[in-house]
Structure formats: structure tokens, C-alpha cells
Amino acid sequence: MPAIVLIGAQWGDEGKGKATDLLGDKVQWVVRYQGGNNAGHTVVLPDGQDFALHLIPSGILTPHVTNVIGNGVVVDPGVLLEELEGLEARGIDTNRLLLSADAHLIMPYHVAIDKVTERYLGSRKIGTTGRGIGPCYQDKVARVGVRVQDLLDEKILRQKVEAALEFKNQVLIKVYNRKGLDAAEVTDTVLTQAERFRHRIADTRLELNKALERDETVLLEGSQGTLLDVDHGTYPYVTSSSPTSGGASAGSGIGPGRITTVLGILKAYTTRVGSGPFPTELTDEAGENLRKSGGEFGVTTGRSRRTGWFDAVIGRYAARVNGITDYFLTKLDVLSGLEAVPVCVAYDVDGERTEDMPMTQTDVHHAKPVYEELPGWWEDISECRSFDELPKNAQAYVERLEELMGTRISAIGVGPGREQTIERHTIL
């Protein structure tokens, strides 16, 4: 049976939680394979309840699904416990959640360094959420990180924390004029937290591969989006991990040959959070209307998202980089009421037209959108449940996006609810 990868095809916040929730009844496992609690998924259930998930996979809301926080994720123990408590308080069963022994832990010194570094950069800041994700990934690559499995051996944990703080306290105190952290206090705090999730620690790569051998279906869920990938995104304004489909294998321990479907999620327009280039960004009333109509505020941070028209250059790029087999277009309903809907079909880079993503950082910053205007529609489409029920102009909009990206749009979101989805083609 297949492993399916679900990825964001823009700069994140595309509605991946809705897609995961839609497929939840058809899969047995949902895996978060990268990122930390700097991202979030919002899922709205049929009864109107909405859940904001930051670290735990969206499949936690489907009773029969086993959820995995994979080895590619960085985990803040306090945030994990808070999220578990919040779900349990609302009657959600969290017993089917496993935590990879090889995931890395976000320690208090990671959060401290993240915050002071971003403030120090001033106008050159990357736009991080200050949650310690970047510094944790830095330690992982430098081979000085603390892993979840270290919580099972107090001696190793204390040695690692002491070694880390010998250097990091020097940075906090002498470079940033901040108070250092006590190694024993940090270790004791994390060990106390671990008592409440120790039973969830597992060799998740083994469990996932056994599941595939039993013909069970595994859904691999990334956070953020393609343009925030550390290798393939708009560097340096990116995250510290690989949200693209290639990162799914590394972040879960599932071989790439097991992956049969790559489902890309994108909005019917474009948004991004934080600093960095954004060719179709709208800074006028049209952009503010998209922000208000689409509720474009971060699930985790509450920050306002930057908004712009749909960018087909990005859609084509994401399809290539990820090997996308199907697209899920979300928030089509937000565009209702517009007389015309511009779509970016190419870029003008210093007088030259290109339909592909520019190669250099400089050219990306210089890219100006080349628009094609499509006729809008006035009807409320939130109750539509088949493609034929959509207004003709809305149908034409979807079909034109397919043509521009060269990849079929198999599902369309017409509202935030679980049932507010049009399935054009079978994904599973």
C-alpha cells in the first residue's frame, strides 16, 4: 500500500490540515515529518468545532488513525504537553500518538538564542517565530543536539546539556548581554516534562515500515511550504528544514520508492508570513480585502499574512520540485464577489520575461508579475459539492490554473468545514 505525501506548494498556510483531515478516513497513519511548533494547521469539524494544531499531526482528530511525530521534527516538550492537554480537555483521544526517538528536542537555550539573534539582526531579520526551531536544527546539523531518546538516559542528557551550555552561555552573556542558563535546572525541567510523554517514544521508522508491509496507508504531512524549503525556497527567507516531498523520506525513515502520490496544497490566491520576496504581493485595498475575507492570520503566531494574487510560476515550480501528482486548491470561496481575478502567468525580470522560477536570489527580488485577468463571479459557492455546481467563471478559473501549472486539480476547498470540499478526481 502507498505512502502519500501532502505538502504546501506556496509559502505555507495553504490549508494542509483540511486536506489531511479529508483523507483521514482513508488512511491508517498520519506522520509529521519536519518542522516544529512554528507552524499550525486549522481543522474545522462538521459540528463546527475548530482545532488549531501546532506540532501534533492533523490525523489526531480521526479516531482510528495512529499519529507519528517523525524523526525530522524538532519538539519543544512544553509545547507538546500543552497541546496534548488542550486536545484531551476537549474530549480528543490522544493515545494513538507516537514520538520518534530520533526527533530532536528544542531546549530553553534554543528559544533564548533565537529571540535575541532576531532582535540583533534588526532590519536584516529573517522573520522567525522565536520558538527555537532554527537554533535546534543548527545543533542537529552540528551534531551537538539533544534527541528524544536522550530522555531515556539521564546521564547522557546531563552531559549533553552541560556541554551545550558551556558555549551557549558565553554567547548569551558576552555577545547579547543576557543571563545564562543553569544546566542542572534545564535538565531537571526537561526530565520532569518527559515523565508525561515517555510512554509515547518509539522507533517510528520501524513501526511505519511494518505498517506499509501490512498494507496500511501512511500519509506524510509536512508543515510550511515549498518556497520555505531550506534548499528549494526563497533563501535565506526560509525555514530550517525540508518541507518538500524529498524531505518526507528523510524525516520519516520511509524509502522514496514507497511514495506513490504527492498531493500539493495551494490557495486560490497567495500568502506568506515574515520577510522575503513575494512577487504578487498586494499592499493596497485589494490585499487587505483578501486578508480579511480569507482570515489570513497565523494559526500559531496570530501574525497578519501578506497577501497577493495567484502565482502560476510558483505552482509550476512546486509541481516540478515535489513531483506533485495532484493539487488541492483551497479557499476558492474567498474570491467570490470579484469582478475580475488577476493570475500571475510569468515574471518580468529586468525587462526579460520568464515563465520559470528565477535562478538567483537577486532575480527573484527583481521579479515583477505578468498578469492575465480572468472574469470573476459573484455567487456564494460555499454550498457547492460538485464541480458542475460552481459558477461557470469559477470553473474556468480552476481549469486555467490547471492549464498553467500542468497538473490536475483534484480537490477544491469552498469553505473551512470538513464537508466544504469538492472532489473532482479520486486521490486515494
**Residues involved in catalysis:** 13, 41
From first CA to last CA, the distance across the chain in angstroms is 11
Distance of CA 240 to the CA centre of its chain: 12
